[in-house]
Structure 1
Amino acid sequence: MKELKVPFEIGDSCTFTKTISESDVYMFAGITGDFSQMHTNEAFMNTTKYKTRIVHGVLTFALGSTASTLIQTQAKAEMPSVSYGYDRLRFVKPVYFGDTVTATYTIIEIDNENLKSVGKVEVVNQKGEVVVVANHILKFFPLDEE
C-alpha cells in the first residue's frame, strides 16, 4: 500500500491577485447581508478617519481561500482536502475600493501522520502593506479504496 502524505513541501507558495471593485463589495454585501455603512455609505465614511468606504475584511480575507485552492492545484494534489479552519486571523489595515490586493499562501508546517498542513496567508495591497494575515489548516483524506 502506498504511503499517504501531504502533497506539499515547507516553503511551497502561490499567489492570487485581484483589484477589488465597488461591485465586488456590493455583491458580497448582498450575499452576506452585511450592508454596514462602513462599506456602503460614502457620505458617512467621509466623516470618519478613513474618509471613504472600506472593503469588508472578510471579503479581503476570502482571497486567501482562493490561494489555498490554487496551491493544491499547483501541487497536483491527488487526495482531496477540506479546510480545517483558520487561526490567528487579523485585519491589519483597511482595504479601499479600487485597491489591488495579493494573497500569498505559503506552507509553513506539514503533519504527514495526521495528513494536515498549515499555510501562512498574507494579503498585501498594491503598496506592499500587509492588510490581512492568518494561518490556514488543510486536512487531507484518502479516497476510499474498493
Structure 2
Amino acid sequence: MKAPTFLETGEVAEYTRRIDADDIAAFARISGDDDPVHTDPDFAARTAFGRCIAHGAHVMGLLSTTASMMSRRSVARGATGTPVSAGYDRIRFTRPVFAGDTLTARYVIEEVDDGRARTRARLEVVNQDGDVCLAGTHILAWVAAA
C-alpha cells in the first residue's frame, strides 16, 4: 500500500504576487520566449491586447508555488513519500495578464486517493478584480523512497 498524502479534500493554498514589467522581461530572458507581444510595447500596442502581456507559462508558474505549499504541508504532517507533480491538465488561459496586475494563485484539493498516493486539485489564477486569468487541474503524487 502506498503512503497516505496527509491532505484532505477542500484544503486550499494561495499565493499572491504583483506582476510588473521587469518580471515579464525576466521571464522572456529566462525562457527564451521573446515574442513581441510580451517584449515590444510598440508591437503590443497594435494587438488586440493594446499592451504587453505576461507569458502564459509565467502565470502558470505561480501555481508551482501553491503545489509546493501543499507538498510541504503534507510532509510536515508526516507523509513519507516525496511529493512530485504528476502533471497539469485542462489548462485554460481565460484572460490576459498585464504588468501591474496583482495575481492570486489558488490551489484547492478536490480529490484525495491515498490508495494511489495522489491528489487532484482545481487551479485558478485571478487578478485584482477577481477575474479568472487561468483555470485547470493538477495531479500531485507521492513517490516512495527507493
Same fold, judged at TM 0.5 (above) = yes
Return the offset for 1:125.
Answer: 0.3
Give the Cα separation in 2 of the matches to 1:4 and 1:78. Answer: 6
Give the root-mean-square deviation of aligned CA atoms: 1.5
Q: In the alignment, what sits opposite 1:48?
A: 47
Give the Cα separation in 1 of the matches to 2:25 and 2:109. Answer: 32
SS in 2 for 1:45: helix
Q: How does 1:67-106 map to 2 (within 5 A)?
A: 67-75=66-74, 76=76, 77-106=79-108
SS in 1 for 2:103: strand
SS in 2 for 1:59: helix
Contact 2:9 2:110 in 1 (8 A): yes
Q: In the alignment, what sits opposite 1:139?
A: 141
Gaps of 5+ in 2: none
Contact 2:2 2:114 in 1 (8 A): no
Q: In the alignment, what sits opposite 2:37?
A: 38
Deviation sequence 1:8-46 (CA, Å, 0-9, x none): 100011100000111111111111110001101111111
Aligned residues: 143
Deviation sequence 1:62-106 (CA, Å, 0-9, x none): 101111001222342443111100110010100001100000000
SS in 2 for 1:113: coil
Query: Normalising by the residue count of structure 1, what TM-score does the alignment of the two structures yield?
Result: 0.92
Range with greater deviation from structure 2 (99-108 or 18-27): 18-27
Percent identity between matched residues is: 35
Structure 1 residues 140 and 48: alpha-carbon distance in aligned structure 2, compared to 1, 3 A threshold = same
Contact 2:2 2:115 in 1 (8 A): no
